[in-house]
């Protein structure tokens, strides 16, 4: 469904300059908040408000469901185990925020509070394991088509946990004191040891997931994982704050709740970027399909007609000089048409060096010359620059073989500390420098204008009998 499932999209504008920046910022937020909570005895970090807790739980659950939907779409397209586990983990987190309220309506009032809390603890613990598991499996593990048990596993485990807790509901211990603290001016580490252990384990799991997601996002340039990394980092510190003050299962809104919502806000940013990447990918695919259609039409129409005109010229024009001029014009038209077909039918994601390699070889083979290539494939260029450099290369190689009589042409693409350079050098006849300076031929003029538009500089150096060198620097 989305680009993370297989279509490569253009990430310019979707990824920050340093993909680790958001993760570092998320961890910094968590550290500063936690240190403030643990070190201050004069500031009030919480407020007693059941309605505020309900609002945060509802908003967080909605965001979690949205991101779950996006991840499920990625999984359906790519069958990656990571997407499935992460979607299941976020689904369980969303369920833990809203389902206990529904459970409250059907459980016995005398045991509802304890059962709700323990059930929520079990769900969130499972979710933390799924999230860190998705980070550990990486993006290369895929499930075969038709494997449905993996998709249903969390639901089956949830049902088993619910039945088990319902069965022993009368003997469940109290997870929290019945009388919550009256103040939130300092941390209060309280609760059943299993509750505290679950929060500590959740903090470790989310912290590990944050580090792993950040490394994978930096390597894979995955927009959603890029924002999942800081979201998990903030979620880890939210669990630390819940350890210090277990407001998650009370009517208090504390720093842990705010950090948790901040983590969901980061997920929402990632979801928005993922949706933008999805539509960008579809737009790119549509443009490419139109380009390929135009390429087919040119190939099957204009190119075929030019072939007929060339063959008819040979038979219909008796004058040798006129025939040579017409054939030369036909060859140029052929070359232009084939260049257009090639430009329209090829992907814009190919490396610049590969595109120049193909263009130079096509021209050399057409006119019976030999081309030597020394191309730096790490050099990148925008679409307009790529088109200009390809046309300059084709024109320079064509001129070297057709007009200069060159037997071999060398094409070099290189860079130094600040600029890139394209050099086309041949071993042809060359011509006098005065001729070069005075030339107003369309080919040389076109190359100069294309080089200036890069923006860059164009130089041509030639010595009579020693070949010609065309240099473009940008």
Query: For 286-315, what is each residue's pLDDT tens digit?
Result: 766 676 677 666 656 676 677 667 777 766
Average confidence (pLDDT) over 459-474:
87
> Residue range 167-194: average pLDDT?
68
| Of 372 and 252, more confident | 372
In this predicted structure, the answer to whether residue 108 has a pLDDT above a threshold of 50 is no
Could you identify the residue written with the tokens 């190359």?
Answer: 447
Q: Is the confidence at residue 258, as pLDDT, over 80?
A: yes
- Which pairs from 158-163 meet CB under 8 Å and 24+ separation? 158/92, 158/95, 158/123, 158/126, 161/119, 161/122, 161/123, 161/126, 162/119
Q: Please state, for a pLDDT cut of 70, what percent of the chain lies above it.
A: 75
Distance in angstroms (rounded) separating the CA atoms of residues 248 and 231: 18
Q: Span 167-174, mean pLDDT?
A: 73
pLDDT at 111 over 60: no
Q: What is the mean pLDDT of residues 31-50?
A: 77
Q: Mention every residue, 6+ apart, whose C-beta is less than 8 A from residue 28.
A: none
Task: At 265, list the tokens.
Answer: 């806000």
Residue 183 has pLDDT above 50, yes or no: yes
Q: Which parts of 251-319 fold into alpha helices (H)?
A: 255-298, 304-316
Q: Compute the average pLDDT of residues 199-206.
A: 93
pLDDT at 321: 74
Three-state secondary-structure class, residue 145? coil
The dihedral through the CA atoms of 76, 81, 85, 90 has a sign that is negative
Asked if residue 84 lies in contact with residue 147, where contact means CB atoms within 8 angstroms, the answer is no
Nearest to 404 by CA among 388, 433, 425: 425
Q: Which pLDDT value is given to residue 261?
A: 93
Q: Edge to edge, what strands does the sheet with 408-415 contain? A: 370-375, 408-415, 420-426, 467-473, 457-463
Average pLDDT over residues 379-401: 86
Q: Kindly tell me if the per-residue pLDDT of 203 is higher than 70.
A: yes
Q: How far apart are CA 418 and CA 70, in angstroms?
A: 41
> What CATH number has the domain spanning 350-474?
3.30.565.10
Residue 398, pLDDT score:
85
Please give the residue that has the higher pLDDT: either 35 or 424: 424
Contacts 24+ apart (CB under 8 A), 301-308: 302/337, 303/334, 303/337, 303/338, 303/341, 306/330, 306/333, 306/334, 306/337, 307/334
Q: Could you tell me which residues are beta bridge partners of residue 471?
A: 423, 459
**DSSP per-residue string spanning 353-402:** HHHHHHHHHHHHHHTT-EEEEEE-TT----HHHHHHHHHHHHHHHHHHHH
Q: Which residue has the higher pLDDT, 207 or 194?
A: 207
Please say if the pLDDT value at position 241 is more than 70.
yes
Share of the chain above pLDDT 90, in %: 18
Q: What is the mean pLDDT of residues 382-387?
A: 81
Question: In the 3-class helix/strand/coil scheme, how is 427-474 assigned residue by residue?
Answer: CCCCCCHHHHHHCCCHHHHHHHHHHHCCCCEEEEEEECCCEEEEEEEC
Q: What is the pLDDT of residue 12?
A: 43
Residues in the chain: 474
Task: Give residue limits of the domains in the chain.
Answer: 3-284, 350-474
pLDDT of residue 181: 55
The whole-angstrom separation of Cα 141 and Cα 87 is 15
Confidence label for 196 from pLDDT (cuts 50, 70 and 90): confident
Classify residue 172 by its DSSP letter.
P
pLDDT digits (tens, 9 = 90+) for 402-452: 888 888 899 999 888 788 999 999 988 887 656 655 555 667 888 888 899
Q: How crowded is the C-beta side of 386, counted as CA atoms within 13 Å?
A: 24
384-407 average pLDDT score: 86
User: Which stretch of 1-5, 131-135, 166-170, 353-357 has the lowest confidence by average pLDDT?
Assistant: 1-5
Express the helix, strand and coil content of the chain in percent, nearest 5 each: 65, 10, 25
- Name, of 209-223, 269-283, 297-311, the range with top average pLDDT: 209-223
**pLDDT score of 243 more than 60:** yes
pLDDT for res 78: 79
Q: To which residue do tokens 């924002």 refer?
A: 227
Element (H, E) at 137: helix 112-137
pLDDT at 296: 64
Q: Which residue has the higher pLDDT, 27 or 387?
A: 27
pTM strictly above 0.85: no
SS3 262: helix
Q: Are 452 and 458 in contact (CB under 8 A)?
A: yes
Dist. CA 226–CA 7, nearest whole Å:
17
Are 113 and 101 a contacting pair, CB within 8 Å?
no
Tell me which range, 123-137, 355-369, 395-409, 432-446, is most confidently predicted by mean pLDDT.
Answer: 123-137
């Amino acid at each position: 469904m989305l680009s993370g499932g297989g279509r490569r999209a253009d990430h310019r504008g979707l990824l920050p300059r340093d993909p680790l920046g958001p993760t570092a910022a998320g961890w910094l937020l968590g550290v500063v908040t936690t240190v403030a909570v643990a070190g201050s005895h004069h500031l009030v970090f919480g407020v007693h408000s059941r309605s505020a807790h309900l609002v945060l739980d509802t908003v967080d659950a909605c965001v979690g469901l949205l991101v779950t939907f996006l991840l499920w779409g990625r999984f359906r397209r790519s069958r990656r185990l990571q997407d499935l586990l992460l979607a299941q983990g976020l689904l369980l987190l969303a369920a833990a925020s809203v389902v206990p309220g529904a459970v409250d309506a059907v459980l016995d009032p005398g045991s509802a509070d304890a059962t709700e809390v323990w059930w929520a603890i079990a769900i969130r613990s499972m979710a933390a394991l799924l999230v860190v598991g998705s980070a550990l499996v990486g993006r290369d593990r895929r499930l075969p088509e038709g494997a449905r048990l993996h998709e249903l596993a969390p639901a089956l485990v949830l049902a088993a946990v619910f039945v088990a807790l319902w069965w022993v509901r009368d003997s469940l211990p109290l997870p929290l004191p019945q009388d919550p603290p009256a103040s939130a001016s300092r941390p209060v580490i309280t609760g059943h040891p299993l509750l505290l252990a679950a929060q500590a384990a959740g903090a470790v799991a989310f912290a590990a997931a944050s580090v792993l997601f950040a490394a994978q996002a930096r390597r894979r340039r995955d927009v959603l994982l890029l924002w999942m990394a800081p979201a998990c980092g903030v979620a880890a510190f939210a669990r630390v704050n819940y350890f210090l003050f277990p407001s998650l299962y009370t009517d208090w809104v504390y720093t842990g709740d705010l950090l948790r919502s901040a983590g969901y806000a980061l997920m929402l940013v990632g979801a928005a970027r993922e949706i933008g990447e999805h539509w960008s990918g579809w737009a790119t695919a549509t443009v490419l399909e139109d380009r390929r259609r135009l390429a087919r039409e040119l190939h099957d129409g204009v190119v075929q007609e030019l072939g007929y005109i060339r063959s008819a010229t040979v038979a219909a024009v008796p004058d040798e000089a006129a025939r040579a001029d017409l054939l030369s014009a036909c060859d140029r038209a052929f070359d232009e048409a084939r260049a257009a077909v090639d430009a329209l039918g090829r992907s814009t994601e190919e490396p610049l060096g590969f595109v120049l390699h193909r263009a130079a070889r096509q021209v050399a083979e057409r006119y019976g010359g030999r081309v030597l290539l020394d191309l730096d494939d790490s050099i990148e260029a925008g679409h307009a620059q790529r088109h200009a450099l390809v046309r300059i290369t084709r024109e320079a190689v064509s001129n070297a073989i057709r007009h200069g009589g060159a037997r071999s042409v060398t094409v070099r693409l290189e860079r130094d500390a600040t600029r890139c350079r394209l050099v086309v050098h041949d071993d042809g006849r060359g011509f006098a420098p005065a001729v070069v300076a005075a030339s107003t031929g369309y080919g040389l003029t076109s190359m100069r204008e294309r080089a200036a538009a890069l923006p860059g500089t164009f130089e041509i150096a030639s010595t009579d009998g020693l070949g010609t060198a065309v240099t473009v620097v940008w």
